[in-house]
Structure 1
Amino acid sequence: MLDIEKIGTHFFTTLYRIGFGFVLSISVGLFLGMSMGKFKTVEAILGSFVGFVLTIPATVWAFLAFILFGVTTWSVIFVAMITTFPMVAFSVSEGVKSRDVRYDEMADVFRFSRWKKIRRVFLPYLFPYIIGSARSAFGELIKIAVFTELLGSNVGIGYVLSFGWSVASLYLILSATVIVVVFMLIVDYGVLYPIEIYATKWKGGS
C-alpha cells in the first residue's frame, strides 16, 4: 500500500508534468493566437487546424502519445499541451482582433518606440485575454494530465488513482483527489485569479 510520503512523490511528478505542459500550452497558444489575430492569411490557414485539434478527444491524443513516445513523462506533457493550447490561441486571437486602433494612434502621437508600444500599449491590452485563457487551460490541463497518467503511467497522481481502484482503496482515491483539488484551487484562486483581477482593473476605469 502506498503511504503519504510516496503519494507526495507521485504528486510532485504530476506537478512537474503539469508545469511543463502549462508553459508549452501558453507559449504555443500565445504564438498562434497572436499570429492568427494579426494576419488574416495565417488565421485562414491555421484557424481550421487549431479547431480540428480542439475537437479530438483527449483519449485519442493519449493513445497516439503512447505510440509515439511510449509510456513516459513526455506523453503526459504532450497530451496536456495539445488539448489545451487551442483555447489559449482562440482567446488571444480574439483579443488581438478586438484591439482598439486608437491606442496605437495615441502611441504614435507620443512617438513611442516599437518596443515601448508593445510593452505599454499592446501587452497591457492583451494580458486579460492571456490570463483568462490561462485559467481555463490550467484547470483543463490538470484533469487531462491526471487522466493520461491513469490510462498509462506507473508514476503520478493518475497512477495513484488507478492503483487505488485496483486494490479498492478508498483512502488512496480520496487522498489523490483531495491533493489535486486543493492544488488546483490554490493556484487558480491564489495566483491566477488575483492576477486576472489586477489585469482587468483598467477596463473599469480604476
Structure 2
Amino acid sequence: MTGNATSHAWSSQQGAAALAAPSLAEKRRAFDWRILLGFLLPIAVALLWEAAVRFGLAQGRLVPPPSRIFAALWSLAETGELWTHVWTTLWRVLTGFIIGAVTGIVFGALSGSGETVRRLLDPTLQALRAIPSIAWVPLFILWLGIFEASKVALIAVGVFFPVYLGIAGAILSVDRKLVEVGHVFRLSRFKLAKRILLPAVLPEAVIALRSGLGLGFMFVVAAEFMGASEGLGYLLVDGQQMGKPDQILAAIIAFALLGKLADSLLVLLTKPLVRWQDTVRERL
C-alpha cells in the first residue's frame, strides 16, 4: 500500500509538472512574440511621424518621414552603392574588433592574474582610456597615413579598453572559495584555469566583447571621418555636405541594423560557451 501511494504521489507530481511546464511549441511562440514586440516601438514612432508629415502637422524638412528615408535606402541599394559602403564599414569594424579584442583579452588576463603586472599596466591603461577617441585621429594619421591602417587602429583602440576592463574585472571577481576548492583537489595551474577560472570568467567576458563590438561601431564613424571615400560614415559626411537629411538618416538606420546583426551573431557564436548557466532568463 505504501509503495502504491508513493508511486501515485510521484506520478501526480510529474503530471502537475508537465502541465505547469510550457511545451516546446509554446516556448517558440513566446520567443517569436518577444521578437515582434521589439519592433513595436520603432514602427509606432515611424508611423506617427509619417502621419504627422502627411497631414501637415510637421514639415519633415530636417527630419524626413520614413517613406523618404526608405526611398533613399532603396535608391542606394539599387545602384549597389549601399552594399559597397556596408561591406567597407563591416570589414573595418571586424578587423579592428579582432585586433582590439585579442589585445584586450591578453592584457586583461595579465592584469587580472598578477598583482605586480596589474600595478605596472593598469594606471597607464586607465589614463589612456580617458583620452577622447577623436584625439587619436591626428596622431594615427601622422603615424599610419590616411588610409585603412589608421582607421583600423582607431577602431581597435575603441574595442581594446572595454574588453581589457571586462576580462581583468572578471578574473579579479572570481569567488575565492572556488579557487580554494581547486587547491583542495590539488588541481594544477592549467586545470585550475580550465575547470574553475575559465567558466567563472566567460559570462563577463562575453559581455565585455559585446561592449567592445558596440564601441567598434561607434569608433568606425570617427575613423571614416578621416578622409574616407567609402563606408557608412562617408555617407553621413556626404549627406551633411550635400544637405540630404534623408541620406543621413538612411546611413544611421543602416548603422543600427548592421550593429544589431553583428551583436546578435556574436551572441549566437558565444552562446555554447555559457550554455551551462542556470539563469532566470533561460527559465523564462
The TM-score normalised by the length of structure 2 is 0.65
1:192 maps to 2:267: yes
2:110 counterpart of 1:35: yes
What are structure 2's unaligned runs of at least 5 residues?
A: 1-71
Equivalent position of 1:80 in the other structure? 155
CA deviation after TM superposition for structure 1 residue 51, in Å? 0.6
Q: 1:19-48 deviations in whole A, cap 9, x for unaligned?
A: 011111111111111111111111111101
| TM-score with structure 1 setting the length | 0.87
> What is the aligned partner in structure 1 of residue 8 from structure 2?
none
> Which protein, 1 or 2, shows the higher relative CO under an 8 Å CA cutoff with sep ≥ 6?
1
Distance 1:120 1:19 in 2: 30
Letter in 1 for 2:76: D
Tell me if the contact between 2:96 and 2:159 (Cα under 8 Å) persists in the aligned partners.
no
Among 23, 32, 57, which residue is 2:132 paired with? 57
- The answer to whether structure 1 residue 95 and structure 2 residue 167 are counterparts is no
Separation in structure 2 between the aligned mates of residue 108 and residue 76 of structure 1, nearest angstrom? 46
Instruction: Give 1:139-158 correspondences, 5 Å limit.
Output: 139-158=214-233
2:212 alignment counterpart: 137
For the 8 Å contact 2:202–2:273, the answer to whether it is kept is no
Aligned residue identity for 1:100: D
Secondary structure of the corresponding residue to residue 168 of structure 1: coil
How far, CA to CA, are the matches of 1:53 and 1:200 in structure 2? 35
In the alignment, is the contact (CA less than 8 A) between 2:161 and 2:212 conserved in 1?
Answer: no
1:47 and 2:103 matched: no
Q: 1:13 offset after TM fit, Å?
A: 0.9
Structure 1 CA distance, aligned partners of 2:248 and 2:201?
A: 40
Alignment coverage as a number of residue pairs: 206
Q: Deviations over 1:97-127 (max 9, x none)?
A: 1212433444455565654443332221111
Q: Which amino acid aligns with 2:82?
A: I
**Sequence identity percentage:** 24
Is 1:13 matched up with 2:91? no
1:3 aligned partner, one-letter code? L
Runs of 4+ in 1 over 6 A off after TM superposition: none
Q: In the alignment, is residue 202 of structure 1 matched against residue 277 of structure 2? A: yes
